[in-house]
Structure 1
Amino acid sequence: MAQSDHGDARKQRIQERRNVLHDTALHRRLKDHLPAAFNERWTRRHWIHASLFVTIGALAATIVPGFSNSIDNPLPASHASLALPLPPLALARQGETPGDSWQILRVQRGQTLSDLFEAAGVPATVMHRVLEHPGTREVLTRLKPGTELAFDLPVNGSLRTLRFDRDASHRVELSLRDDQISEKVTERATSTRTVVASGEITSSLYASARRAGLSPSAIATMTDEIFKYDIDFSKDLQPGDRFSVVMDETWREGERIDTSKILAATFNTGGKTYTGFRFERGGKFEYYDINGRPLKKSFIRMPIPFARLSSNFGARRHPVLGTMRMHKGVDYAARTGTPIMAAGDARVQFAGTQRGYGNVVILDHGRGYTTLYGHMSRLGSYRTGARVPQGAVIGYVGSTGLATGPHLHYEFRVNGQHRNPLSVTMPPPEPLKGAELAAFRAQTAPAMARIRGMEEAIYADAGSATPAPTQTASAAAPTGKRG
């Protein structure tokens, strides 16, 4: 029995030794994985860090739950409404919505009146009602780019008022109420001052004229009305050519609204000086040279600008009949529908259909001169006996009568005799005489003096020094009110 107890004690000591060895090995493995602070005896610094981490953890545990609860708690669902009394709406305004309901549209190039009404959301039926109002159609169907139209459109969408400028001095408001249209005209004060502008061409006429202060409309007046008969602006101009103009500027509410009225102009090109002065004769304004002769020629040689000459004046084999016969005019080939212009001021002698000419117009220009325009696809609005100004459209190119294709047959007659329109000497326009010439000279002398004074001030040293790239100037006369 003593031997058995001795064996049990020996087994117990062996098991205890194994447990110690196991704990020692485990301690070594943990020591290899734990930071050095846990493997060594803690210093004062270690205890301070540990205390700080414990404090931060306690504060976080206290604050975060409270913050979360404050977010989760919804706002009180109960609220109260307080009714405030408002003044009653006037009966006249109950059916409308007053306020800033104006839409202002500016006419763009190529836009029509119907385009503007469509852009404003106004039906075409309303536009036609407006055009039926006396004096409205003449203004609204001739809108220029930049013109403003204002539409008063409340939220119900129906047009209440249309506003536009009848001219530089008058604004029109058309109020639409049921089936009635009432008109209100407001006079707008304008002022006019006369200015002188001068320039020298360096690169292009347009650029130089703009630098001199001329508007696009003033440039068009100078090139298309005053000097178009004497100067080919596409070929004749050279750097160093000069121009000067005396023009009226119209101002309204601090804005320059018009500069197209040129009173006098000079143009120096090719060693020659051309002049033009605005003068009223017989109730009509035209431009004259310094000697009182009209700048507008009695006739234009081509009734269709930029057309191709397809058949000359003289004997030829007729393209339809096949026989040799005299071709008493010239033919200009052009597309069907191309407008045909009157060669000069005239009275319509005949407008209709005539044998091989098809649709034809014959104009009587006086002093024995007549012109004929044949093979038209359709006639213009002028009828027999009507007065026609030079350049007016009298018909459209076609191929009626004896014609193989669309073209204009154009004849020029002097006392009934056919002449070649391309080589005939055109009659000079009638100059001013007597009292008209005296009035013309009295009117144009001050304008010419101002031009000469301006040019002397700008180009005084032009002969002794090379001119600067831009030689422009303008001088304004005192502002004056003109009706």
Structure 2
Amino acid sequence: MTRHHNPGSKPKTSYPRIHLMAAAACSAIMVLTLTLLPSPDATATKTVRLKPAFDKATSSPAQLADQVIADAQNADEPLLDDAGVAELAPQRHWLDEKVRSGDTLSHIFKRVGLGSRDVHEVMSGKGDVDQLKKIHPGQVMRFAIEDQKLVALEYVISRTDSLLIEQGEEGYQARMEIKELVPYTSYAEGTINSSLFLAAQKAGLSESMTMELASIFGWDVDFALDIRQGDSFRVIYQELHLDGEKVKDGDILGAQFTNQGQTFTAIRYETSDRGASYFTPEGDSMRKAFLRSPIDFARISSHFNLSRKHPVLHTIRAHKGTDYAASRGTPIKATGDGKVVFAGRKGGYGKVVIIQHGQAYKTLYAHMHNYARGIRSGTRVRQGQVIGYVGSTGLATGPHLHYEFYLNGAVRNPVTVKLPHAEPIAKQDKEAFLALAKQMEGQLSTYAAAMESEKVANLDQ
């Protein structure tokens, strides 16, 4: 397409929008982010805004870049709530007193010049005065005393919660005051050289946030055995702040983990009736359900019983699983997706297979006659896949399967344990979720591209 201009005027240079967008995003990130120095284990950035979780309405990468610039420009401006200026509290002179070990209210009141009558009047007040019965060492009480009379008392329970007691016409009135935490949206990424925890730490993620990240992807990635050098992660998450200071981590809103060349993506979605869960961009649950029984149409010959008398040893010995009676050679199926962490003989269990499912769950299959083809330590199995055949190896009186179920290392009754749900996104939420997922994937890509641009810019300096 031909562009015309006046002979005496200087032609305007036109740049492709994608170049402008990349430059804008890069500039904004450089202003807005807190970037750690490059390291062999991870590089990281945090993009912080005073906005809660992303809206469900879709937005393009270009719109996101514009928003990043706007946030950077407004980062140092004072922010007001919807009401404009907060109502000013009464001006009082506060005397702080820390609760000591063994303290009672009488001890604390005495130290600030008040007596037992003041304690009685306060505890006879209306509202949540009973909170004063639960004081703990290290907490703070703030007294406002005028003319030797207590006019207000603030009991600081935590950084966000406090009990305010004020004198009124009808005595003291107590009410709880809870400071609202402000959610900032942050972004971090890292490349793993030795361990996820080291990379996440250098990327600025807390230990609890790292554990949450591992939990989300733990159904697909074994973080003990599967991690390889060069694996990477990207995560958009919330930090909860109070008075401009971080108090604790919020939720992971969206994340990607690349393991051995395969990338997994998780999107957080919350509804009022179902709560919050993580799903793939297509709407499938990140969690994997379990089959309740590893054998089709088998009867239970012995239930979970921690006080059972062993049929062979004739001693009281905990029966940590459920026995399924079946003929020799009956196929045994994995009850959930996972990785075989042990396949071999194990004392009284005989031939046994142990499968790890994500970070929290483990199942054990004992007394097998033989293993299915290809089943060995390190093998990944799918739910319903045949892993072996019923037998009577080990301490068994006849052919049957002994099945155990573990949650966070503790044995649970396989028949009654509450199994994790793996339902996809509800039909009524599908359209809104897909829009959110598309937006979140775009944001992950945009932040990653901005980070890469910044790295290139730093190398050119």
User: So what's the TM-score if we normalise by structure 1?
Assistant: 0.39
Greater RCO, CA 8 A, separation 6+: 2
- Higher-helix-fraction structure: 1
